[in-house]
Amino acid sequence: MKKLLFLSLFLSLTFVFAQEKPVRMGIAGMTHDHVYQILNNPNRAGVEIIGFAEPNKELALRLLKKYNLPESLLYASLDEMLEKAKPEAVCDFRSIIEHLETVQKCAPKGVHVMVEKPLAVNFAHATQMAALAKKHNIQLLTNYETTWYASNHQAYEMIHGQNTIGDIRKVVIHDGHRGPKEIGVSKEFLSWLTDPVKNGGGAIIDFGCYGADIMAWLMKGERPNSVTAITQTIKPETYPNVDDEATIVVTYPKAQGIFQGSWNWPFDRKDIEVYGKTGYIFADKSAQTTVRKGDRNALPEEKIAVKPLETPMNDAFTYFAAVARGKVKSENDLGSLKINMVAMEILDAAVKSSKTGKTVVLK
């Protein structure tokens, strides 16, 4: 009898979950090339795409046509989409400096927001965005590609759940590629990605933000003591207004982080090295994590298969929908506001340090 009652309850809950309406999700802007993530596959679990707000009609129609999406989804502005389509959540694919405006318009209407990395163009904007999210009780997330790397989550569990390498001592994070122009990003994306006002910087923002986010997460939201950064423009003929090479160093009482963001790598890379008191872990996008434990005479490196992430933790839009519905608590996740406020404080201090040549002390 108990088994029958349990089965009946399980089937009932499954039916209710299946019948739950998807989150009505709108897209603000199409100038960020990462918008292809949703254009290429708009049918995500728990999500209904109800519109794209893009004032550049030529760009919008070109992209909608390319991905076989109806013109009826197009709105001339975020205001129009909010008024007519009434989304429950909005994903921002505009320039970073416009993230604040998106939250200013969405938050008072109770519309949840997820922006592409980083959270804001500077810490002042991030502070305003956080205040609006709190005041109007909305979720405010930041989407990083590396959030969906199962290897990163496995490394975190090995460090904090299994104590595989002891306390963190040094974290080295590499992110970048040959450069946005070199890899052929769209002209619309390139125009603001290389603008020091609209993007807040060059490689230091574009790729330094990954390191800031992951470090803040690995350190469980702890603020560093200091931030030091050095930037260069190695290709001034290509990037005359922003840096294309950046190194950020953050210090904690018993740990150090080094983030290398570059538009000069000979190949694409997004990987992390975490050195603990008793070993190290290397993780990238691959299906294996490299681990070594013990002293110099210990066993050689071990390759550990990475366990795939489960739904909704394996997809940005499904995850956003789950957070909007209250099914997932995002407080300490890579995309959470808590972690990204620390990441923005690091990033903001790094930009200041690179301009002044001085270390910025946070504590």
User: What pLDDT, in 10s, does the model give residues 111-148?
Assistant: 999 999 999 999 999 999 999 999 999 999 999 999 99
Provide the pLDDT confidence category of residue 363 given band limits of 50, 70 and 90: confident
Residue 225 sits at the vertex; the CA angle it makes with 219 and 227, to the nearest 5 degrees, is 95
pTM given for the model:
0.93
Identify whether the C-beta of residue 21 lies closer than 8 Å to the C-beta of residue 46: no
Provide DSSP, 50-99.
EEEE-S-HHHHHHHHHHTT--GGGEESSHHHHHHHT--SEEEE-S-GGGH
Say if residue 333's pLDDT is above 60.
yes
Average pLDDT, the chain: 94
Cα radius of gyration (the chain):
21
Closest CA to 129 of 142, 140, 116, 114: 140
- Burial category of 232 from C-beta neighbours within 10 Å (exposed 0-12, middle 13-18, buried 19 and up): middle
- Give the pLDDT score at 20: 82
Provide the pLDDT confidence category of residue 245 given band limits of 50, 70 and 90: very high
Q: Which two tokens stand for residue 250?
A: 């953050």
Provide DSSP, 161-174.
IS-SS-SEEEEEEE
Say if residue 4's pLDDT is above 50.
no
Estimate the crossing angle of helix 337-356 against helix 123-136, to 10 degrees: 160
Residue 195 sits at the vertex; the CA angle it makes with 193 and 199, to the nearest 5 degrees, is 60
Identify whether the C-beta of residue 26 lies closer than 8 Å to the C-beta of residue 38: no
Say if residue 359's pLDDT is above 70.
yes
Provide the pLDDT confidence category of residue 19 given band limits of 50, 70 and 90: low
Provide the pLDDT confidence category of residue 192 given band limits of 50, 70 and 90: very high
Higher pLDDT, residue 320 or 19: 320
* Residue 218 phi, psi (nearest 5): -60, -35
Say if residue 2's pLDDT is above 60.
no
- Stretch among 35-39, 67-71, 290-294, 354-358 having the lowest mean pLDDT: 290-294
% of residues, the chain, pLDDT over 70: 94
Q: Tell me the three state secondary structure of residue 16.
A: helix
Say if residue 78's pLDDT is above 60.
yes
Structure-token match 């080094």, residue found: 258
pLDDT digits (tens, 9 = 90+) for 82-100: 999 999 999 999 999 999 9
